[in-house]
């Protein structure tokens, strides 16, 4: 309870400071969330450059949204960022007339090894797993892929996912279960 | 592969992230864009006001509000009777006092202690009724009738509880029943050379009344009340407080 209160306080404080056009806080928000938003967008569009452009657009749109709205529609800043990211992707494809398709097969998106002290063998295994999962994710239904990324990659709470996707918490739980099963089936088929 | 293994492997996808140079360049670009759209650096005072507002907004969250409400309710039910103890039976706040007394009684789990407290409340209420009726300016006949009934009810509550309680109520120092000094002969304490000591006890205020004495006092108080000798009835009730 105290930690969740502290989190709520921090969130309200950040939103209020953003509402008062505090640019330092906005840059801090960018530092905290840019990686997560990029990853979310990347798994939606499947191309690095488009993901970068859209990520940049999401932050600018969020800044404008905060200045022009009452902020009562979103419970957390993180949920607001993801909601804006979702609508930005839809708008982007509507404007460019492109079809929303996912490949996730960009050759130029090399996985970065963050900690070089890891043993090489372990990292090789991990990279193999990552590549396998990454290759199977595009084969999942769009809503399954989205919910997997939100929950298991970007660590959003069920409440936040419910807010971002507009689904009830119960539906989110069911979707999470189904999406995990579907991904597991794909990976097991691949092993056979 | 178990769900746990799969979730662990999915967590490794966090390693997919944009290159640091793009992040840095985009950061600078965003900073310039928002600076052009009127972004500022807040003063210490503005930051303080925002922090204060944020604290208030967080405190108004349902869970916090509910907890505060519970504290207020528990506090008022436990200690509210102290604040309302001066209200008289002919005043509108008297209902709040009665409710507060009932709430206070429900917080006591020990049956004996609860009955003692109920008797104490009833004695106080009966005395307050007599005080109100002793006022010559109080002439609301309907109200007088109600208070007469209420007085008898309160006396009956005391009588019933006194009968239930094994330990007798304590007697006030003004009690005529306690005016005679007693002598206690002790075989073990403070003996003199002859092996016998006599300890004369003071006429103290904690000398106890037995059930029959209390019942007798109550009856006398009730009779005095019926005869409209309110002041005498108050004095009589004082004996068992």
Nearest chain B residue to A31 by CA: give it.
Answer: B27
Cα separation, B197 vs B184, in Å, equals 9
Q: What is the mean predicted confidence (pLDDT) over B9-28?
A: 91
Domain boundaries, chain A: 8-104, 118-192
Q: Examine residue B97 and state whether it is found in any structural domain, yes or no.
A: no
Q: What is the mean predicted confidence (pLDDT) over B193-213?
A: 51
Q: Where are the alpha helices (DSSP H) in chain B?
A: 3-11, 20-36, 44-59, 62-84, 94-106, 111-133, 141-164, 211-226, 230-238
Residue A48 vs residue A16, higher pLDDT: A48
Residue B90, min C-alpha distance to chain A (Å): 47
| Phi and psi angles of residue A129, each rounded to the nearest 5 degrees, phi first | -60, -45
b/e burial code for range B140-178 (CB count within 10 A of at least 16 → b): eeeeeeebeeebeebbebbbebbeebeebbebbeebeeb
Nearest chain B residue to A128 by CA: give it.
Answer: B9
Residue of A1, A8, A15, A150 to mutate when probing chain B, most B C-beta within 10 A: A8
A61 within 8 A of A88, measured Cβ to Cβ: yes
Cβ-based neighbours of A119, under 8 Å, separated by 6 or more = none
B 20-39 residues with CB < 8 A to A:
22-23, 26-27, 29-31, 33-35, 37-39
Per CATH, the number for A118-192 is 1.10.10.10
pLDDT reading at B200 higher than 50: no
**A29-43, A62-76, A118-132, B61-75: which has the highest mean pLDDT?**
A29-43
For chain A, say whether B48 makes contact (Cβ under 8 Å).
Answer: no
Q: Examine residue B233 and state whether it is found in any structural domain, yes or no.
A: yes
B169 within 8 A of B240, measured Cβ to Cβ: yes
Residue A61 vs residue B188, higher pLDDT: A61
Cα separation, A82 vs B16, in Å, equals 17
> Six-digit token pair at B163?
């009968």
pLDDT reading at A83 higher than 90: yes
Q: Domain residues for B153?
A: 108-176+204-238
Q: Examine residue B182 and state whether it is found in any structural domain, yes or no.
A: no
Q: Examine residue B35 and state whether it is found in any structural domain, yes or no.
A: no
For chain A, say whether B3 makes contact (Cβ under 8 Å).
Answer: yes
Cα separation, A186 vs A132, in Å, equals 10
Q: Examine residue B139 and state whether it is found in any structural domain, yes or no.
A: yes
Hey, are the CB atoms on B15 and A13 less than 8 Å from each other?
A: no
Q: Examine residue B160 and state whether it is found in any structural domain, yes or no.
A: yes
Q: pLDDT value at position A115?
A: 38
**Which of A31, A132, A30, A174 minimizes the C-alpha distance to B13?**
A132
pLDDT reading at A174 higher than 90: yes
Nearest chain A residue to B28 by CA: give it.
Answer: A27
Q: Where are the alpha helices (DSSP H) in B86-193?
A: 94-106, 111-133, 141-164
Count: domains in chain B: 1
Cβ-based neighbours of A8, under 8 Å, separated by 6 or more = B58, B61
Inter-chain Cβ pairs, chain A and chain B, closer than 8 A? 124
Q: Examine residue B152 and state whether it is found in any structural domain, yes or no.
A: yes
Task: Indicate yes or no: pTM above 0.80.
Answer: no
For chain A, say whether B55 makes contact (Cβ under 8 Å).
Answer: yes
Cα separation, B72 vs B58, in Å, equals 19
Cα separation, A22 vs A14, in Å, equals 9
DSSP annotation string for chain A: -HHHHHHHHHHHHHHHHHHTTBHHHHHHHHHHHHHHHHHHHHHHH--HHHHHHHHHHHHHHHHHHHHHS-S-S-SSHHHHHHHHHHHHHHHHHHHH----------TT-PPP-S-TTS-HHHHHHHHHHHHHHHHHGGGS-HHHHHHHIIIIIS---HHHHHHHHT--HHHHHHHHHHHHHHHHHHHHHHH-
Residue of A17, A37, A81 to mutate when probing chain B, most B C-beta within 10 A: A17
b/e burial code for range B11-48 (CB count within 10 A of at least 16 → b): ebbebbbbeeebbeebbeebbeebeeeebeebeeeebe
Q: pLDDT value at position B189?
A: 45
pLDDT digits (tens, 9 = 90+) for B34-88: 888 777 777 777 788 878 877 777 766 666 778 878 888 777 666 666 667 778 8
Does the domain made of A8-104 have the CATH classification 2.70.70.10?
Answer: no
Q: pLDDT value at position A122?
A: 55
Residue B180's alpha-carbon distances to B165, B183, B204, B207, B238, in angstroms, are 25, 10, 10, 11, 18
B168 within 8 A of B208, measured Cβ to Cβ: yes
For chain A, say whether B51 makes contact (Cβ under 8 Å).
Answer: yes
Nearest chain B residue to A30 by CA: give it.
Answer: B27
Q: Examine residue B217 and state whether it is found in any structural domain, yes or no.
A: yes
In chain B, what residues touch A148 (CB-CB under 8 Å)? Answer: 10
A82 within 8 A of A40, measured Cβ to Cβ: yes
Q: What is the mean predicted confidence (pLDDT) over B149-174?
A: 72
- What is the DSSP code (8-state) at residue B181? -
Instruction: Using the structure block, give the residue that is written with the tokens 């008297």.
Output: B94
Q: What is the mean predicted confidence (pLDDT) over A90-110?
A: 61
pLDDT reading at A30 higher than 80: yes
Hey, are the CB atoms on A20 and B46 less than 8 Å from each other?
A: yes
Hey, are the CB atoms on A1 and B61 less than 8 Å from each other?
A: no
């Amino acid at each position: 309870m105290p930690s969740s209160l502290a989190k709520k306080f921090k969130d309200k404080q950040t939103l209020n400071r953003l509402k008062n056009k505090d640019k330092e806080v906005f840059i801090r928000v960018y530092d905290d969330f840019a990686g997560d938003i990029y990853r979310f967008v990347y798994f939606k569009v499947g191309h690095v450059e488009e993901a970068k452009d859209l990520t940049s657009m999401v932050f600018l749109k969020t800044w404008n949204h905060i200045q022009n709205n009452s902020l009562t529609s979103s419970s957390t800043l993180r949920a607001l960022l993801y909601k804006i990211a979702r609508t930005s992707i839809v708008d982007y494809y509507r404007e460019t007339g492109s079809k929303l398709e996912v490949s996730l097969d960009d050759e130029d998106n090399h996985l970065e090894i963050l900690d070089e002290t890891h043993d090489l063998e372990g990292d090789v295994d991990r990279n193999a797993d990552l590549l396998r999962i990454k290759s199977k994710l595009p084969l999942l239904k769009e809503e399954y892929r989205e919910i997997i990324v939100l929950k298991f990659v970007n660590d959003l709470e069920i409440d936040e996912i419910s807010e971002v996707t507009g689904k009830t918490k119960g539906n989110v739980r069911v979707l999470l279960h189904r999406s995990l099963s579907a991904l597991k089936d794909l990976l097991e088929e691949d092993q056979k | 592969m178990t769900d746990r293994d799969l979730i662990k492997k999915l967590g490794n996808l966090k390693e997919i992230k944009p290159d640091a140079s793009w992040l840095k360049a985009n950061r600078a670009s965003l900073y310039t864009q928002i600076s052009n759209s009127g972004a500022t650096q807040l003063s210490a005072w503005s930051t303080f006001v925002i922090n204060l507002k944020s604290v208030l907004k967080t405190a108004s969250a349902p869970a916090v509000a509910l907890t505060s409400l519970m504290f207020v309710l528990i506090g008022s039910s436990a200690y509210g009777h102290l604040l309302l103890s001066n209200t008289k039976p002919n005043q509108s706040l008297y209902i709040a006092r009665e409710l507060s007394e009932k709430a206070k009684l429900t917080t006591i789990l020990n049956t004996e202690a609860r009955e003692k407290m109920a008797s104490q409340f009833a004695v106080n209420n009966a005395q307050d009724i007599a005080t109100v009726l002793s006022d010559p300016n109080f002439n609301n006949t309907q109200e007088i009738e109600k208070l007469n009934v209420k007085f008898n009810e309160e006396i009956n509550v005391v009588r019933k509880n006194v009968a239930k309680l094994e330990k007798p109520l304590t007697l006030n120092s003004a009690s005529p029943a306690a005016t005679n000094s007693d002598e206690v002969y002790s075989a073990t304490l403070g003996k003199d050379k002859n092996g016998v000591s006599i300890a004369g006890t003071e006429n103290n205020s904690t000398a106890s009344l037995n059930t029959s004495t209390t019942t007798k006092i109550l009856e006398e108080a009730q009779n005095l009340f019926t005869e409209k000798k309110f002041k005498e009835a108050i004095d009589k009730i004082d004996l068992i407080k």
